Amino acid sequence: MDRIIGIDYGRARVGLAQSDPLGIFASPVETVPAAKIIDYLQKYALRETISKFVVGYPLNLDGSHAEAAADVDAFLPKLQQAFPDVPVALEDERFSSVLAHRAMIDGGMKKSERRNKMSVDKISAAIILQAYLDKRK
């Protein structure tokens, strides 16, 4: 079954999300150390067909590239080299962490659990992917 993978790339950790087979809903999957992300995705691709990557792209409020955009720019060629046949889309990730925290609060997560940055990263990836999926409709 085809899946679209959402990626919230960070220098230390990478949050991942996946679409359902119909490409309607995004779900958080995992947070992986940045150094192991390509290996993780290659193993994932053995279980599921990846039809597209949606990578969160850091922008400032004025639309200019945020400082973290350089990290994403360095990651993209590695992703495309490892998966040359899988298209990559960039999605504005402004406010994804804020929305992730809000989703965790609304979902009843305890304060101690909300401090776990690994949870924030994968929920942010799901928010980025869901924004992309919603725009496609």
Most confident of 6-20, 61-75, 94-108, 114-128: 6-20
The number of domains in the chain is 1
Structural domain boundaries, residue 118: 2-136
Q: Look up the CATH number of the domain holding residue 92.
A: 3.30.420.140
- Between CA 98 and CA 41 the distance in angstroms is 26
What are the tens digits of pLDDT across the range 46-89?
A: 999 999 999 999 888 777 777 888 999 999 999 999 999 999 99
Reported as a pLDDT band with limits 50, 70 and 90, residue 123 is confident
Confidence band of 40 (pLDDT split at 50, 70, 90): very high
Dist CA 84 CA 117 (whole Å): 30
Characterize 7-39 residue by residue with b for buried, 16 or more Cβ atoms within 10 angstroms of its Cβ, and e for exposed.
bbbbeebbbbbbbeeebeebbbbebbeeeebbe
Q: What is the pTM of this model?
A: 0.85
The H or E element spanning position 6 is strand 2-9
pLDDT at 105: 53
